[in-house]
Amino acid sequence: MWLSILLIYKELSPFMVLDEGFQYADFDSSNSTGVYGGVIGYGNGNEGDLSNLNNTFLRGLQATDPDRVAQFETLFPGHYGGRATHSTNNPFPIPLF
């Protein structure tokens, strides 16, 4: 599945306005059984499997193109109890690295 994220700019506060330069989009979702990579916690697979903290599956950070679009190749998000099937997307005004 291809996911395209278009960042639309507006004033977020008097102190933070996303400029017109290249920005970054963050994306994450769970696998088919509802497990998030890099997360240890109740309901996220085997809580005793500490190796999951080092997993980065279904997570990504992409720079936007000149049209402010970031694209990700991913899988349809899995389902886990108590939540609707979803993915999480966040814009970042500056590189995080």
pLDDT tens-digit readout, 15-54? 555 555 558 888 888 888 888 888 888 878 888 889 989 9
User: Which residue matches tokens 């500056």?
Assistant: 94
Give how far the C-alpha of residue 16 lies from the chain's centroid of Cα atoms, to the nearest Å.
Answer: 21
Domain for residue 32, yes or no?
A: yes
| Mean pLDDT for the chain overall | 80
User: 59 lies in a domain?
Assistant: yes
Residue 43: inside a domain: yes
pLDDT at 16 (0 to 100): 52
Is the pTM higher than 0.75? The answer reads no
**Within-domain flag for 97:** no
Cβ burial, residue 96 (10 Å; 0-12/13-18/19+): exposed
Number of domains in the chain: 1
From 4-18, 31-45, 53-67, 73-87, the region with the lowest mean pLDDT: 4-18
Domain with 52, as residue range(s), is 2-12+21-92
Tell me, yes or no, whether 65 lies in a domain: yes
Query: Is 37 inside any structural domain?
Result: yes
State how far the Cα of 42 lies from the Cα of 50, in Å rounded to an integer: 13
pLDDT of residue 1: 86
From 40-44, 75-79, 91-95, the region with the lowest mean pLDDT = 91-95
d(CA 77, CA 34): 8
Q: How far is residue 96 CA from its own chain's centroid? A: 14
Q: Are 7 and 92 in contact (CB under 8 A)?
A: no
